[in-house]
Structure 1
Amino acid sequence: MSDVEKPAPRVFFYVQHLLGIGHLARASRIARALVEDGFDVTMVTGGTPVQGFPGPGIRHVELPPVAAGDAGFSGLVDLAGNPVDDAFRDHRRRRLLAAFRETTPDVVIIEAFPFGRRQVRVELLPLLDEIAAMQERPIVLSSLRDILQERSKPGRDEESVALATSRFDGILVHGDPSFARLEDSFSLAGAIADRVIYTGLVAAPPPAPTSERFDILVSAGGGAVGATVNEAAIAAARALPQALRWCLIAGPNLPQAAFDTAVATTPDNVHVTRFRPDFPGLLAAARLSVSQSGYNTVCDILRAGCRAVFVPFTAGGETEQTARALRLERLGLATVVSGSTLSPESLTRAIATAMERPMRPIPPLDLDGAAKTSTILRRLLAGTRVSDLARESAAPQV
């Protein structure tokens, strides 16, 4: 069989978003790059459906959706808000295993697990056990963002390492090691260093120019937990010069009552919307971004080269966004307002300060992680050892 006639390598990509849409958005960017490189991609999702994701050209298997019961991820509920029971979990598990068997993939990618998403281990552990028992099994990879949530419960990190070494061939860390390394947020990273492959940050491609321009762009990701940022931003818009043009992107998951309140209380110089498909282009044209500091938003800001004010998400003991925002603040690329001190007055001061500060050059971070993930998969399928890719990706770039 000639090279032209070889079937496309098959990728089975599992992603479970529980609160925001960041995990789904990053995974979809990667899946899109894989499809563009000739992979046959099946993405399995199990969260609240989000229009436009995972995107065209990707086979989509939707498990019965679950969401976080609260901002602390202390339990799972269905779309009606009811706690999920054993029958519900068993149905999801059977659907997941059936989709895997139907796909017969060459590569399996599981987003976050075993370093997160313990809430769905009841379906992921049987999948991993089935793969381990296969005579000819696919390559199994974990897909992680650059900074992990710190774990406070004893034994959790050890459990992650045990699963990573027994059930996974490699760990794809979607970050630039010159900005953040896995050991910065995961104390036992040394135990899996020979499996950790840095892909670069998964940013969107450079945006197309936009004809619409705003001075200040406020965004709250999916919007499920962004109401307080929106309220403070609206108050700041009233306090700052009315000549400034604002765009407030409330997010598709912001409760309707909160969205209606935002629309009703904004001054005339503030445009309120739920979603803007041209968000990256608006960022590139804006003077300042106000947002939380989730992975995808920060990647978009770095790509755009825009000033930033960050209000990190900290509910439920979350630490990842604060760690990322403070790193950027130390580089002179952002101003950080903590959630505990967020108020109309504190946000107004931060915006005014950031607008006056000269823009520093963006460091040469690798933002092409989606395409590089595809290259890594090609090399693994061609026989390159994970340890070689790990050593190569972690080396300082000269």
Structure 2
Amino acid sequence: MSKRRVFFYVQHLLGIGHLARASRIAKALSVDGFDVTMVTGGAPVPGFPGEGLATIALPPVTAGDKGFSGLSDADGNPVTDAFQQHRKDLLIEALHASKPDVVIIEAFPFGRRQMRFELLPLLDAIAAMERRPLVATSLRDILQERVKPGRAEETVELVKAHFDLVLVHGDPAFARLEETFPLAGEIAQKIAYTGLVAPPPPAEANEKFDIVVSAGGGAVGKDLISAALGAATVLPKTLRWCLITGPNLPQSDFDALAAAAPDGVSLFRFRQDFAGLLAGARLSVSQAGYNTVCDILRARCGSLLIPFTAGGETEQSTRAARLERLGLAGVLPEEGITSKRLARDIEAMLVRPKPEIPPLDLSGAARTATILREELQQREFRPSRSA
């Protein structure tokens, strides 16, 4: 039997979390025997989607600002109608060339409404195919709760009309979809929980640091890195620090931070061995993005979380608060971050015992592959059962 073909669309706009999670899932699908084509629509990120995956890169777009209002092209200019039409045509052309058995659309229609100009035509093109593929949306476990009236109802209508599966990449014992999407009951029969999409257990990196500070993609992490540099001058000089700014931090900002780094502090844009660094660290200091938290849980590293809240974002605050209640993290509000406050909280976290093995399902990538394979098999047998 030929390999099942997966067409996986992912659009990252500000950070790299959506791309990183989708890449982990795509790798697991490939290991499971699927032939995966990833369609990416954001700025290129070194190391992603990863080796062994076919990739189609659409002309990149990014968020116009931290509040995700508007779209900009690679040069920072607002996207035009002609630009959108070109992307839409490329996307639908790629769909027909792929002839997929499965289409996965990351986030939409629960998020990424900015991409409706190409995703609604994509769904129509899928519906018109002679051999319609299985269609799934790929969601993180906690959604943004501040939405405009009517959007939840529209989301449900799109799911009912176009999607076979709603893959929720979380452990229902930690977070259930209806907690941040109240209309989930209307599509309950399509929801499948995969577990959290965490990496495999990491080996410790060759370098070892006491404190690893990371700012995700780096687009909004300058204040965290600056505060960490200040905290490093207050805390004992024997502590070894690793500060990872993220690849999206402007070069001028990176250069200024590097010039201010005291002895004992190493500054990097990106570390391929990030998970291994956490495994050997005493404490991680980071935002509370999905992928970073999964890395921390897998590494069983102490964690101080500083949730991203700009533009009314609620997802990271919700995740951080739940982890704090489980005793798996400390939390410092983003608006209260100063070098002095950060140093105090780091000092308090360093004396806490290492977290216990988290009571959460971290096998989400592999489980996603299993769910899709089982659904495809059920599709094959349905005609014979109804005969």
| TM-score band, normalised by shorter chain | over 0.9
CA contact (8 A) 2:283 2:303 kept: yes
Q: Aligned pair 1:28/2:4, yes or no?
A: no
Q: Aligned pair 1:121/2:102, yes or no?
A: no
CA contact (8 A) 2:136 2:164 kept: yes
Q: Aligned pair 1:68/2:68, yes or no?
A: no
1:382 is paired with a residue of what secondary structure?
helix
CA contact (8 A) 2:218 2:245 kept: yes
Matching residue of 1:311: 306
Q: Which moved more, 1:87-96 or 1:338-347?
A: 338-347
Q: Which runs of 5+ in 1 are unaligned?
A: 1-5, 386-398
**TM-score, normalization: structure 2?**
0.96
User: Can you list the C-alpha shifts for 1:208-231, whole angstroms capped at 9, x where unaligned?
Assistant: 232321000000111111000000
Q: Aligned pair 1:189/2:188, yes or no?
A: no
Q: Which amino acid counterpart does residue 371 of structure 2 have in structure 1?
A: I
Deviation at 1:88, TM superposition (A): 0.2
CA contact (8 A) 2:208 2:280 kept: yes
Paired residue total: 380
Deviation at 1:363, TM superposition (A): 2.7
Q: Which runs of 5+ in 2 are unaligned?
A: 381-387
Structure 1 residue aligned with 2:96, among 97, 101, 125? 101
The alpha-carbon distance between structure 1 residues 134 and 384, as it changes in their structure 2 partners (threshold 3 A), is closer
Matching residue of 2:338: 343
User: Can you list the C-alpha shifts for 1:143-199, whole angstroms capped at 9, x where unaligned?
Assistant: 000101113310011111110111100100011111111111111111111111001
Q: Which amino acid counterpart does residue 246 of structure 2 have in structure 1?
A: G
CA contact (8 A) 1:45 1:62 kept: yes
1:350 is paired with a residue of what secondary structure?
helix
Q: Which amino acid counterpart does residue 185 of structure 1 have in structure 2?
A: T
Matching residue of 1:180: 175
Deviation at 1:384, TM superposition (A): 6.4
Matching residue of 1:139: 134
Q: Which moved more, 1:334-343 or 1:113-122?
A: 334-343
Q: Distance in 1 between matches of 2:156 and 2:136?
A: 13
Q: Which amino acid counterpart does residue 17 of structure 2 have in structure 1?
A: G
Structure 2 residue aligned with 1:83, among 78, 82, 104? 78
Structure 2 residue aligned with 1:164, among 147, 159, 167? 159
Runs of 4+, deviation exceeding 6 Å: none
Q: Aligned pair 1:38/2:33, yes or no?
A: yes
- What are the within-5 Å matches in structure 2 for residues 278-297 of structure 1? 278-297=273-292
Q: Distance in 2 between matches of 1:187 and 1:371?
A: 28
Q: Which amino acid counterpart does residue 190 of structure 1 have in structure 2?
A: G
CA contact (8 A) 2:324 2:330 kept: yes
User: Can you list the C-alpha shifts for 1:10-52, whole angstroms capped at 9, x where unaligned?
Assistant: 0000000000000001000111111111111111011001112
1:188 is paired with a residue of what secondary structure?
helix
Deviation at 1:379, TM superposition (A): 0.4
CA RMSD, 1 decimal? 1.1
Q: Which moved more, 1:221-230 or 1:355-364?
A: 355-364
**TM-score, normalization: structure 1?**
0.94
Matching residue of 1:214: 209
User: Can you list the C-alpha shifts for 1:212-253, whole angstroms capped at 9, x where unaligned?
Assistant: 210000001111110000001111111101111100011111
2:242 is paired with a residue of what secondary structure?
strand
CA contact (8 A) 1:333 1:362 kept: no
Q: Aligned pair 1:223/2:227, yes or no?
A: no
Q: Aligned pair 1:361/2:356, yes or no?
A: yes
CA contact (8 A) 2:143 2:181 kept: yes
Q: Distance in 2 between matches of 1:361 and 1:340?
A: 29
Matching residue of 2:321: 326
Q: Distance in 2 between matches of 1:149 and 1:220?
A: 20
Matching residue of 2:385: none
Aligned residues with identical type, % of pairs? 65
Q: Distance in 2 between matches of 1:152 and 1:175?
A: 21
CA contact (8 A) 2:24 2:365 kept: yes
Q: Which amino acid counterpart does residue 298 of structure 1 have in structure 2?
A: V
